[in-house]
Structure 1
Amino acid sequence: MERCRCRRRRTLGYITRRTGTESRQWYRHTVLYSHSGAASIRLELEEGSDSAFILDEVKQKIDGLSNLPQESETPIIQQVIRYENIASLLITSKQGSLEELRQLARKYERELLRRGISKIDFIGMPEEEIAIQVSSAKLHELGLSLDQIASRVSQRSLDIPAGTAAKDDGSRLVRGLNQQRDVEGFNQLPLLTEEAGRLIRLGDIADIDWRMQDDQIYLTYRGSPAIQLHLRRTENSDTLEAAGILRDWLTEQEGQLPDGVQLIPFDESWKPIQDRINLLLKNGLGA
């Protein structure tokens, strides 16, 4: 056993050294780390590098390694972009519903991303799902299992990872929404054709609902529903430029907000930087 662990460490060390050494001309900084059973290589690119091309080159180098242990898992190769905070923005309404706030949050996200904000995360905006429930009686009548229905739904509707869960005397298929789809589309999904030639659609045998997922985080502000937008920038982008985009956008929203809706910026990480610059300018002019 000890001999096997030593051989594995030597193999991982070879992978780490070979990949890091051969690719060094592309990177500003390389961090290599390996231990018994695992290895990690982090490559930091020079600013302006073609990350897509380099990612493809790294994948080719890893695919070309022929001495990986038979029991090793497939290496995970991915681009990691580091982000830093700009500010947080709270959307709240004394009159509107959470669904109305959701639509506003998505609208504001599109506007800010289009202007140059790098990334926006949400807190308090529950994920949605389409739940497809089929009773045990229907399954027996059709002579199908829940897994068979899940497979047919997956084949006829791309990007639908159908899971299963027990629910009372029936069962449930649940799909998390990565792209917007409507209930009617699932209702009309062809499922099977009977011997008599009648086409059975999913909506003929199942109850289909669009709803919030279970165990979600909800926010309130002074008793009203709220959604938080967390605005972020890439680490190489300009903090004050990103802050200017947010300030200009907030100014434009004044007088245009729906009745009862408030936009509350907070946790503005760019302000200490601006304060330091102002202090330096003041001291410099005073001198």
Structure 2
Amino acid sequence: MLCPPCGPFSSIRNLTNYKRDPDIVQAETEEGRKHLRFAMSLATMQLKEGRGFIFEHPQGAASWHSPEVQPILQHPQVLRVVLDMCAFGLHAPDGTLHRKPTVILTNVPEIAEALSKRCTQDHPHMPLMGGQLPADAAKYTPNFVDAILKGLRRHLKRQHYPVFHIPDQWEWRGHDLVCRHFAPRQHMVTPHDCEAFDLTTVKFTGRRTTSKEFVGGATTTTVQDTWTSHRAAMPDRQAWSGATHFETVPTILLPQPMEDYAEWLANA
């Protein structure tokens, strides 16, 4: 959740800036833009890495017209949502609702859908002017947080996001050699790619089971094939992560006398 301090961009504060020291106002503005640039850099990073983000600021904030926000605001994968906080139960200490129109930028459609709520126009509002009221209205209500979490849960059921920059992890699961893929890939793996274990004495059946969780999509596919065949599997058009299991021939461990006897019988 990205929400840099909106005070320097507040339309309410701008009404009284003429009464204040210009140097202080300028310093606050520069500090606000520094936080805004940092928030936009995080949003850009999330977009590039295939992960989600949420950016929130009041609808009337001057930040929406700043050059720092424009690249994210105009990005084709970013959704812009206008909502009213009264729809999520934002109210003054006396119970009167605050409308507080707010804009959300996100690249997660399910969160955008969950937050798309406007005022029902069937109740009065308390203006956000003076005293402690603006500070009280800067808090997220439980209903607002619940809406984000519900959207996120729906998103996680539909989408798969990989963990970038982590190499494949090899492990043993019973008689299976398993390779867990965290970084996106398009090619299948074989035991020849394993550098974690000495496999010179391991016998494989040739059976390979690959679970592919495609990045940016709702599709999960399980592929079973024979990796020892001379025909290599074609690369996928869409990147995926997941896990690959290689079936091995179980090894029977015998006591040394029985092993010697079995070897004697084999040579007889």
* TM-score (norm. length: structure 1): 0.19
Q: Which has the larger radius of gyration?
A: 2
What TM-score do you get using the length of structure 2 for normalisation?
A: 0.20
Specify which structure has the higher proportion of strand: 1
